[in-house]
């Protein structure tokens, strides 16, 4: 990476609104080649500028640099062995909140886990353990389905869900999984058509949980009935646990659909780029 003095950076940035497109592109490429360390400088330039065209150019540049970092992080996350779910969700979260630190999200999740843990009893039967989690998450902490804004992009941003206590099926399931796994419970996501649910599964016991409906417990037969209602053939993945990668893929698909629905075509296009990374 090339080193530039502040004077040289100032000269580069001043050319961002040059009328010559080739000059502008060359300058953009030069600045992007400097990587994310140039962002604080660009933000200062934005604050001190009174030129709206230049400010817009800087905004676009900063976004491109942040998006490039996001793609890099997502690619690296996909290559990790454990594919930590919270890390994957944090990476997606930085699409709309690029300054969000992982530690911030982790601390909020830990507080929610602590609230459940203080009411939890390890020696109870499985169904009773689930009832305790349901009671803390949905009654005490007031997590609920965001039915009013079901297709809002915010439903795919974990920080939004933790702040508002409202989410879509997959984000509420993600909160549930993160808490349950920390408690050592065998709870996983299940990828159903039009719905994402959870399964508690051991060698001797399997049942399902609908986090979008306050942790409602249901059975395999209920899934059969659901698929029958949708006129869909039962498939193995409709009943069995899925991993973090599939949760991240589905979160991105939801986000893509949300941006398309509100007419944010450019954002939808960028989310499709992220989908390519996790689908490759």
pLDDT in tens, 214-259: 999 999 999 999 999 999 999 999 999 999 999 999 999 999 999 9
Looking at the structure, tell me whether residues 69 and 128 fall in a common domain: no
pLDDT tens figures, 34-87 = 778 788 888 888 888 888 887 888 888 889 999 999 999 999 999 999 999 999
Q: List pLDDT tens digits, range 130-185.
A: 999 999 999 999 999 999 998 899 999 999 999 999 999 999 999 999 999 999 99
For residues 186-213, average pLDDT: 97
If you average pLDDT over residues 99-117, what whole number do you get?
98
| Per-residue CA distances from 37 to 1, 29, 31, 70 (Å) | 11, 15, 10, 14
Q: Is residue 244 part of a domain?
A: yes
123 falls within a domain: yes
The DSSP H or E segment spanning 32 is helix 21-32
Query: 100 and 71, same structural domain?
Result: no
At residue 113 the predicted structure's pLDDT band, cuts being 50, 70 and 90, is very high
Statement to judge: residues 34 and 163 lie in one domain: no
pTM recorded for the entire structure = 0.90
- Predicted confidence (pLDDT) at residue 1 exceeds the cutoff of 50: no
In a domain, 193, yes or no: yes
Q: What is the predicted pLDDT for the residue at 57?
A: 82
Question: 69-80, pLDDT tens digit by residue?
Answer: 999 999 999 999
Whether residues 165 and 236 fall in one domain: yes
Residue-range definition of the domain harbouring residue 231: 85-279
Shared domain for 47 and 125, answered yes or no, is no
What is the model's pLDDT at position 30? 79
Q: In the listed set 79, 104, 139, which residue is the last one of a domain according to the structure?
A: 79
Q: Average per-residue pLDDT in the chain?
A: 92
Return the number of other C-beta atoms located less than 10 Å from residue 276's C-beta: 11
Same domain as 115, residue 66: no
Domain edge (last residue) among 79, 102, 123: 79
Asked if residue 1 belongs to a domain, the reply is no
Indicate if 47 and 184 belong to the same structural domain: no
Q: Which of 51, 79, 107 is the endpoint of a domain?
A: 79
> What local confidence, expressed as pLDDT, does residue 53 receive?
81
More confident residue, 195 or 7: 195
235 and 147 share one domain: yes
Evaluate if residue 7 carries a pLDDT over 50. Answer: yes
Number of domains present in the structure of the chain: 2
**Residue 105 is assigned to a structural domain of this protein:** yes
184 is a domain residue? yes
Same domain, 164 and 93: yes
Pair (70, 38) in one structural domain: yes
Q: Decide if 243 is inside a domain.
A: yes
Same domain, 75 and 91: no
Residue 2 has pLDDT above 60, yes or no: no
Q: 67, 244, 78: which is closest to 170 by C-alpha?
A: 244
pLDDT value of residue 224: 98
Are 106 and 262 in contact by the 8 Å Cβ rule? The answer is no
| Burial of 280 from C-beta contacts in 10 A (0-12 / 13-18 / 19+) | exposed
pLDDT beyond 90 at 12: no
User: Looking at the domain assignment, is residue 266 inside a domain?
Assistant: yes
Residue 72 and residue 91 in one domain: no
pLDDT band at 4 (very low <50, low <70, confident <90, very high): low
Q: How big, in percent rounded to 5, are the helix, strand and coil portions of the chain?
A: 65, 10, 30
* Distance between CA atoms of residues 66 and 63, nearest Å: 5
Tell me how far the alpha carbon of residue 195 is from its chain's centroid.
Answer: 17
Q: Is residue 274 very low, low, confident or very high in pLDDT (cuts 50, 70, 90)?
A: very high
Could you tell me what percent of the chain has a pLDDT over 90? 76
Coil, helix or strand for 45? helix
């Amino acid at each position: 990476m090339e080193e530039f003095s502040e004077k040289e950076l100032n000269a580069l940035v001043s050319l961002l609104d040059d009328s010559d497109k080739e000059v502008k592109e060359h300058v953009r490429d030069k600045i992007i080649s400097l990587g994310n360390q140039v962002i604080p400088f660009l933000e200062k330039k934005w604050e001190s500028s009174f030129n709206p065209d230049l400010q817009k150019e800087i905004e676009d540049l900063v976004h491109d640099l942040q998006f490039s970092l996001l793609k890099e992080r997502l690619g690296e996350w996909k290559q990790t062995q454990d594919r930590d779910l919270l890390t994957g969700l944090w990476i997606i979260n930085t699409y709309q909140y690029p300054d969000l630190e992982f530690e911030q999200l982790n601390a909020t999740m830990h507080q929610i886990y602590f609230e459940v843990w203080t009411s939890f009893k390890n020696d109870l039967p499985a169904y009773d353990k689930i009832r305790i989690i349901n009671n803390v998450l949905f009654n005490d902490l007031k997590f609920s389905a965001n039915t009013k804004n079901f297709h809002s992009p915010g439903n795919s941003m974990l920080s939004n869900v933790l702040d508002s206590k409202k989410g879509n099926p997959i984000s509420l399931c993600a909160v549930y999984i993160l808490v349950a796994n920390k408690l050592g419970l065998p709870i996983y996501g299940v990828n159903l058509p039009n719905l994402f649910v959870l399964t508690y599964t051991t060698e001797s016991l399997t049942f399902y949980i609908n986090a979008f409906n306050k942790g409602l417990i249901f059975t395999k037969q209920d899934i059969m009935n659901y698929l029958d209602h949708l006129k869909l053939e039962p498939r193995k993945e409709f009943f069995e646990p899925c991993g973090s990668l599939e949760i991240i893929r589905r979160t991105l698909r939801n986000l893509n659909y949300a941006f398309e629905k509100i007419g944010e075509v450019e954002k939808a296009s960028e989310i499709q780029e992220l989908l390519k990374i996790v689908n490759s």
